[in-house]
Structure 1
Amino acid sequence: MSESEPHVQIGEVVSRTGLSHRTLRYYEEMGLLTPSSRTDGGFRLYGEADIERLLLITPMKPLGFSIEEMRQLVDALDVLGDPTADAADATCARAQVDAIRDDAVTKVTELKEATARAESFTHQLAQLSLPAPPEAH
């Protein structure tokens, strides 16, 4: 990251991503995110690329992806963004990204099907003719 690129502190990242401070620190511990720099006082500073990375991986958790799968994606994207990466590494990284994308498509399809079944169920419940509850004495 260049020094001229703006950096923001963790509070701004929380505001822009909807993630908690705790989640950001956990993602840092797990190797998913590294602050671009730190202030003299040690506060984490993030750039646009860091925020974009977070916005990319944030939907993975609700889809059931593991931290390891998230790490595989960001590692593969790092390789693809590295102009010095060799062709074999880039090919492997591309395959990793494609596999995760295919997995995401499958997971979204399954969620859509589950949502349709749930909506059908609630519609069926709404159509039931239930007897009136007994009167209280």
Structure 2
Amino acid sequence: MADQQMQIGEVAERTGLSLRTIRHYEEVGLLAPSARSKGGFRLYTETDIMRLMTIRRMKPLNFSLEEARELLDILDALQKTGTTGEDRQQLRGRLDTYRQVTDARCEALRARLEMAEHFAASLHQKPPTRD
């Protein structure tokens, strides 16, 4: 079953990304439309949306576009049927590195959020009175 093709506006709506951001990702080589309509409109599939969501989810963790490109390349290579066992093992090792970095960055964000929540709670406390 072929993926349904969507125009960029629907993709933007589904991913929460702006048209400009999607076009930028295309310009820097992170994404390519799966097809073009007869009128020249970009057409995307669910696979393209999953790719965009991977990029989007990396942003709050401060991954660079280059790191996003590398991770996407790793994921693409792991999906290829011609990837040899040795290459696959090396790719999995690189993917594990991304997992470890992601886990560490998530933990750092949790710690920052906890500090922010404590600060917000302190603002809701009644200030001490001076007599």
Q: d(CA) in 1 for partners of 2:3 and 2:116?
A: 47
Structure 1 runs of 4+ with >4 Å offset: none
3-state SS of paired residue (1:85): coil
Q: In structure 1, how many angstroms separate the alpha carbons of the residues matched to 2:54 and 2:66?
A: 15
Deviation at 1:130, TM superposition (A): 5.2
Larger Rg over CA atoms: 1
Identity of aligned residues (%): 45
Given candidates 52, 59, 73, the residue that maps to 1:75 is 73
In the alignment, structure 1 residue 129 sits paired with structure 2 residue 128: yes
Deviations along 1:38-79, one digit per CA (max 9) or x if unpaired, are 112221111111111111221111110100111011100000
Match runs of 1:106-121 below 5 Å? 106-121=104-119
Q: How many residues in Structure 1 have an aligned counterpart in Structure 2? A: 130
Mapped to 1, the partners of 2:113 and 2:120 lie a distance apart of 11
State the secondary structure of the residue aligned to 1:61.
Answer: helix
Q: 1:130 to 1:93 in 2, by over 3 A?
A: farther
Q: 2:28 aligns with which of 27, 30, 38?
A: 30
Give the unaligned 5+ runs of structure 2.
none
Q: Distance in 2 between matches of 1:20 and 1:30?
A: 16
TM value normalised by structure 2:
0.89
Q: CA deviation at 1:106?
A: 0.8
Aligned Cα RMSD in Å?
Answer: 1.9
The farther-off stretch of 64-73 and 47-56 is: 47-56
CA 1:6–1:123 in 2, change beyond 3 Å: closer, same or farther?
Answer: closer
